[in-house]
Amino acid sequence: MSLPHLDLSRSPHDRQGLRRTDEEWLAARWAEEGSRVLVVAGTRIRPGATGPEWLPSRMAPEGTRVYLGDRDGTAYWAVIVAGEQAKEEPGAWVPLRGLLPYLVSAADGTAPLVFHAIGIAEWLWATRFCPRCGGGLVPRAAGHELRCTECGKPQFPRSDPAVIMLITHGEPFADDERCLLGRNPAWPAGRYSTLAGFCEPGETLEDAVRREVAEETGVLVGDVAYFGNQPWPLPASLMLGFHGVAVDDAITLEDEDVEDAVWLTREEMRAGAEAGSLVLPGGVSISRSLIEHWYGAPLPGSW
């Protein structure tokens, strides 16, 4: 079965990281007739009719140039301008979440480029001063490094590892095998998803899965197996998907981030999704892929 979350990572571009400090080479690539630029105002994008709008470099405004890389012989860039521009044109600029449905269905496969651009933009937006001395920062390496003007310490983009997991209980593929879903109290009625959380310092990813599930639902997890991953620059995460097997099925809710947690068989999941009483994550999410991979087929409805 096709896994929708992989669509956001297909056709990766050549980032050409070793070229980021070659100013003459970068200038030549920028000047190429076919070069394309995504303009980002703060962390927002102005969409075209069918998704992100890529401009010829000659039409790009002044701003921080970020070289994203090469794809099929075309040089792709982001130009990051002040976030005030988006405020001056309310409704014209949208956050990345507003573009996700377009990205997953985009025939040109530019989703990895957009995620790269937004990830750098989010980092530049959040990293204003040197964490060592408080000095000012200037961009280098085609937007992929910030260097302190006072102490000279470089800063680099970070991605926070986050685990997202489908937990099951019972004999695999049996009619009574169940999976565990939870809901946040801020979500609309009927919305449920897989559990997720961040990896802590000194912790393996598998232990992060076990800890987060125990903290959020009280369920103890034994075996944990890797499923896949998805970039998620909202604002700076790498979602690492896992399948875990519960040791028992007792649910104890103590975490305020989880209002409810339920065990569902495949039949219960199908019936709830068809009736609309169970609203599952959208197809663009790795959470949806985890659920449908376990279920064994596409399911109706989504956020």
Query: Within a domain: residue 152?
Result: no
The last residue of one of the domains, among 126, 146, 174, is 126
Over the stretch 165-183, which tens digit does the pLDDT of each residue have?
999 999 999 999 999 999 9
CATH of the domain at 171: 3.90.79.10
Query: Among 3-12, 128-137, 229-238, which stretch is predicted with the lowest mean pLDDT?
Result: 3-12
Together in a domain, 285 and 221 = yes
DSSP code of residue 218: -
Query: Among 142-146, 230-234, 240-244, 278-282, which stretch is predicted with the lowest mean pLDDT?
Result: 230-234
Q: Average pLDDT of the chain?
A: 92
Query: Within a domain: residue 74?
Result: yes
**pLDDT score of 99:** 81
What average pLDDT score do residues 193-208 get? Answer: 97
Q: The tokens of 274 are what? A: 């068809």
Together in a domain, 166 and 122 = no
Query: Within a domain: residue 153?
Result: no
* DSSP strand pairing (154-155 vs 137-140): unpaired
Question: 0.85 exceeded by the pTM?
Answer: yes
Q: How many CB atoms lie within 10 A of CB 235?
A: 16
Q: What own/partner pairs with CB < 8 Å and gap ≥ 24 does 120-123 have?
A: 120/66, 120/78, 120/80, 120/144, 120/157, 121/40, 121/42, 121/43, 121/66, 121/78, 121/80, 122/43, 122/233, 122/235, 122/236, 123/157, 123/158, 123/236
Together in a domain, 103 and 168 = no
Together in a domain, 121 and 167 = no
What average pLDDT score do residues 274-294 get? Answer: 92
Burial of 91 (0-12, 13-18, 19+ CB in 10 A): exposed
Burial of 1 (0-12, 13-18, 19+ CB in 10 A): exposed
Structurally, the chain folds into a number of domains equal to 2
Query: Within a domain: residue 154?
Result: no
* Domain region containing 175: 160-295
What average pLDDT score do residues 134-148 get? Answer: 97
pLDDT band at 6 (very low <50, low <70, confident <90, very high): low
Over the stretch 245-261, which tens digit does the pLDDT of each residue have?
999 999 999 899 999 99
Query: Within a domain: residue 242?
Result: yes
The pLDDT of residue 244 is above 90: yes
CB 210 within 8 A of CB 244: yes
DSSP code of residue 173: T
The pLDDT of residue 216 is above 90: yes
The pLDDT of residue 203 is above 80: yes
Nearest to 218 by CA among 173, 263, 279: 263
